[in-house]
Amino acid sequence: MDIHLRLARWVRTHPRTVDACLVLAILLLFVLPFAADGIEGYTLIVVVSAALTVPLVWRRSRIVLSAGLVAGVSVIQLVTGIEPVAAQFVILITLFTLAAHGPRWASLGGLGLAVAGTSIGLVRYGTLIGLGPGQPALTTVPLFLILLFLVESLVLLAWTLGDLSRSRRLTYQALEDRTRRLEVERQQERDLAAADERSHIAREMHDIVAHSLSVIITQADGARYASAHSPEVAVRTLGTIADTGRGSLREMRRLLGVLRGDESASTRPLPTLDDVDSLVRSVRRSGIRVACRRTGTPRGDLPPGAELTAYRVVQEALTNVLRHAGAATTADVVLDHGPRGLSITVDDDGRGAAADPATAGAGQGILGMTERVRLYDGSVAAAPRTGGGYRVEAFIPYTRT
């Protein structure tokens, strides 16, 4: 870091030390020389100079008090006739500090008092600079006006620089506050994006794992009972378990490859409505009687993501049938292309999820299904049927062009 940047940082972080050094420098430069010259009335000069200079130590921590002490000493000088001292210029430093750091009322009040005080001081101490009453008016008045203009210009310049410093500081503070707010907002957006991505990953994992494990568990139970009486059935069942496991493993590898950003990960197309038939066949091999019907004619387009959502709805509904409906269950899948969109209905005549005592904490699949469908302005309804069984209904509208 450059030396001037280090110095600026040190000055900002040690204001009291800087002000104390300023006071000491003023006393050394504008008070001690009078002692060396043996000027008459040196004691009074030292007292007045110290009274004007020492309050600068608190000019940033006790702004109004420091300015009040300097103003009080100056007023006493005018009233009692004590002549100005070399350290009188600290009035300009005080005025700058008031404008830069003090309250607005104190800043404007100090400016008015300084303007009035300098005018009165020129009148009272005019003899010191050759403006006595014995001088010709044609010489005195122009000189007085010129001096008044110069002195008031210094006062206004000091106040203006302080006011500009205040505006600059407030602008920096506003920018810092805005930067902090933007950083907080960015962090919140990152957190929300991460939460959304975690939810999306959870839905994908649930759709892949829950269905495959449900098929595997159902087939494994069937193979266990069939192995004693029908070994050939057990062999076919174990083959179904192996195929289902391998398919689930491929899906998991593809998903994890995408999460890792692996370019070599499988880019096999995601399931669509055309894959519903193969899904139904895999469920049939698990012992569930499933029928799939397609009705109506598509009158609009469904984006690939909507078709994937439709597939996941059917997959989740059939997974719930496998998990909760019980043995000897019949399920019916209907895909109806209506005038407004695709309607999906999955009915079964089993016990339903509500009747299964082992479903504590269930509902993640239904929740994920609902979130998926809502992304395409659709709706989902899932509830036990009045006459027994369970029904899942979903509607996904066509894409509007």
All domains of the chain, ordered by start, with CATH?
3-183 (no CATH), 272-401 (3.30.565.10)
- For the stretch 196-233, pLDDT in tens is 766 766 666 666 666 666 667 776 766 666 666 666 66
CB contact at 8 A, 117 and 78: yes
Please determine, for residue 349, whether its predicted confidence score (pLDDT) is greater than 90.
no
Please determine, for residue 288, whether its predicted confidence score (pLDDT) is greater than 90.
no
Coil vs helix vs strand at 269: coil
Range from 20-24, 266-270, 364-368 carrying the lowest mean pLDDT:
266-270
Q: How confident is the model at residue 60 (pLDDT cuts 50, 70, 90)?
A: confident
- For the stretch 69-90, pLDDT in tens is 988 888 888 888 787 887 888 8
Mean pLDDT of 36-50: 71
CB contact at 8 A, 127 and 135: no
The pLDDT of residue 283: 83
The pLDDT of residue 335: 92
The pLDDT of residue 284: 83
% of the chain beyond a pLDDT of 90: 8
Task: State which of 35-39, 231-235, 376-380 shows the largest mean pLDDT.
Answer: 376-380
**CA–CA distance, 313 with 291 (Å, rounded to integer):** 16
CA dihedral 208, 210, 215, 219 (to 10 degrees): 130
Give the ranges where 128-230 is alpha helix by DSSP (H): 137-226
Q: How confident is the model at residue 345 (pLDDT cuts 50, 70, 90)?
A: very high
Q: Which tokens sit at 155?
A: 């006062």
Q: How confident is the model at residue 131 (pLDDT cuts 50, 70, 90)?
A: low
**CA–CA distance, 306 with 311 (Å, rounded to integer):** 9
Coil vs helix vs strand at 384: strand
Please determine, for residue 312, whether its predicted confidence score (pLDDT) is greater than 90.
no
pTM: 0.49
DSSP 73-138: HHHHHHHHTPPP-GGGGHHHHHHHHHHHHS-HHHHHHHHHHHHHHHHHHHHHTGGGGT--TTS-HH
Please determine, for residue 126, whether its predicted confidence score (pLDDT) is greater than 80.
no
Coil vs helix vs strand at 11: helix
The pLDDT of residue 225: 67
Q: Which tokens sit at 315?
A: 């997959």
| Alpha-carbon separation of residue 256 from 205, 261, 266, 302 (angstroms) | 10, 9, 10, 27
Q: How confident is the model at residue 161 (pLDDT cuts 50, 70, 90)?
A: very high
Please determine, for residue 172, whether its predicted confidence score (pLDDT) is greater than 80.
yes
Mean pLDDT of 270-286: 83
- For the stretch 101-117, pLDDT in tens is 888 888 888 888 888 88
The pLDDT of residue 358: 40
Please determine, for residue 153, whether its predicted confidence score (pLDDT) is greater than 80.
yes
